[in-house]
Structure 1
Amino acid sequence: MSRLLQILAVCGLVLLFNASQVKAEVTAAIHATGQAEARLAPDMATLELSVAREAKTAREALDANSAAMGRVIAAMRDQGVADGDLQTSNFSIQPRYVYPSNRSEKPPQLVGYRVRNSLTVVVRDLDQLGALLDKSVSLGVNEGGNVSFGNTDPSAAIDKARAAAVKDALRRAGTMAEAAGVKLGDILSLSEQSGMSHPRPIPMARMAAAEADSVPMVAGENSYQVTVQLSIAIDQ
């Protein structure tokens, strides 16, 4: 029995020693968040154009839809849009039913079919954007029309925002350290979160928005945000 007590005592001393070691290894630190933003005028846009046609038979609806979408694709190519910037993004054939207005036991009646074909278009010449939208509607596009502006390569601007965000985090950490009356030591960790917000609608004269034969479009600016999380040791 005494032997067991001796073993338990030794184990307790080992646990106390390990706990003291862990406590000693805990480093006091200051945690700060830094933020910065980069704004760029877009140099490209992505369009979502859809053609929907309805007919009594699926064949008729498909033929009408294909003819209209074929004209749209041909017009995009004629305006200089590369084949690599054209992509079918959605295609569907759906039956159309008429449901009884009262609570009768009559089943729904099939009255036709609806064919929908969507095209994603990357426009790299923004001066053509309004004209391309106008042309596509004239040739048969009757759904979609969603426009998103982007940048081909925003990496240089994001790098500048990243550096500014780190400086902002260091500045905040320095302010907290000064207020607390301590000195900063080594950086313990540094992590980043990046993202893109919706374009800022500011007036730009880049696009032919005033032309009477095109859809008025304003590109604005894209905003790229960088947030960094900083942990820096307190020098003791």
Structure 2
Amino acid sequence: MKTLMRVSALALALSASAAVPAALAQAAPPAADSMFRATTLNLSAYGETKVAPDMATITLGVTTEAPTAVEAMQANAQRMSGVVAALRRGGIAEKDIQTSGLNLNPQYRYEENKPPQLVGYQASNMVTVTVHDLKRLGQAVDATVGAGANQIHGISFGLDDQTAAENAAREEAVKALQQKADLYGRATGYRVSRLVSLSEGAASFPIQPPMPMMEFARAAKADTSVSPGQLTVRVDITGLYELTR
């Protein structure tokens, strides 16, 4: 009798445990299963728009050398004050002149079989200048070189507000994605039913090489006329489409 009861209890437990997965399977939403049964198309596309820049950035600086650290820093500060004053006379606001690097380094002379000999100090001060009125860009270039800036890393162009350019690129990207989906649908005998998901990557601006220092200096001596050209704004997107017969 006890053996029969144990068998019955075991059978009941097995029956209950088997019922749990069945219940879970019935409760599971059909979306995942239908997703696997659906024919989908995963595509990527990009959109580009070209726009004229409305601002520029110049990175420049002053490097000075002197026998002592104090003398090197004082000479550097005096020369940089002249550069900043020239920028302001060129129409650049104080808020658009930002110090981006200030360094003081000892200078050594090296001779064979002798310890390094301290010969002086080098001070450098770099500033990043933002020009919002490109008509003043040539004046700013002339002012920096004429005032004694001897470390010039070049000019790069950009946009004060990228929103409009990015939105135009987004519209082009969506058009390209839809056209690609329709093409694949026709080629495979399907019809695009709906857009399931859409994702976007970061908008990008191709990096413009800055004007080299020597070319920059030569241009400044000739009453600089700078041509900003155009910027290309690109947006990449990925979309998942459901297809039907």
Q: TM-score, normalised by structure 1?
A: 0.83
Cα deviations across residues 162-188 of structure 1 (Å, max 9, x unaligned)? 111101101101111111111222211
Instruction: Say if 1:2 and 1:100 are closer, same or farther in 2 by CA, change over 3 A.
Output: farther
- Partner in structure 2 of residue 31 of structure 1: 42
- Please, what is the CA RMSD of the aligned residues? 2.8
- Partner in structure 2 of residue 190 of structure 1: 198
Instruction: Say if 1:55 and 1:16 are closer, same or farther in 2 by CA, change over 3 A.
Output: same
Q: Is the 8 A contact 1:87 1:119 kept in 2?
A: yes
Letter in structure 1 aligned against 2:64 = R
Letter in structure 1 aligned against 2:99 = T
**5+ unaligned residues in a row in structure 2: which ranges?**
1-9, 211-217
Q: Secondary structure at the match of 1:81?
A: coil
Cα deviations across residues 53-99 of structure 1 (Å, max 9, x unaligned)? 01110111011101110001001111111111111111111112223
- Partner in structure 1 of residue 91 of structure 2: 80
Which of residues 63, 81, 90 in structure 2 aligns to 1:52? 63
Q: Is the 8 A contact 1:131 1:213 kept in 2?
A: no
Letter in structure 2 aligned against 1:38 = T
CA distance in 1: counterparts of 2:82 and 2:55, whole angstroms = 23
Larger radius of gyration: 2
Q: TM-score, normalised by structure 2?
A: 0.80
Q: Quick one: percent identity of the two aligned structures? A: 34
Letter in structure 2 aligned against 1:33 = S
Which of residues 105, 119, 130 in structure 2 aligns to 1:122? 130
**5+ unaligned residues in a row in structure 1: which ranges?**
202-208
CA distance in 2: counterparts of 1:210 and 1:55, whole angstroms = 30
Q: Secondary structure at the match of 1:101?
A: coil
Deviation at 1:19, TM superposition (A): 8.4
Which of residues 93, 108, 115 in structure 2 aligns to 1:97? 108
For these two proteins, the number of residue pairs brought into alignment is 226
Q: Given the alignment of the two structures, is residue 144 of structure 1 paired with residue 152 of structure 2, yes or no? A: yes
Q: Secondary structure at the match of 1:195?
A: coil
Letter in structure 2 aligned against 1:234 = L
Instruction: Say if 1:212 and 1:87 are closer, same or farther in 2 by CA, change over 3 A.
Output: closer
Q: Secondary structure at the match of 2:206?
A: strand
Q: Which has the higher strand share?
A: 1
Cα deviations across residues 170-217 of structure 1 (Å, max 9, x unaligned)? 11011111111112222111111211113599xxxxxxx989632453
Q: Is the 8 A contact 1:133 1:145 kept in 2?
A: no
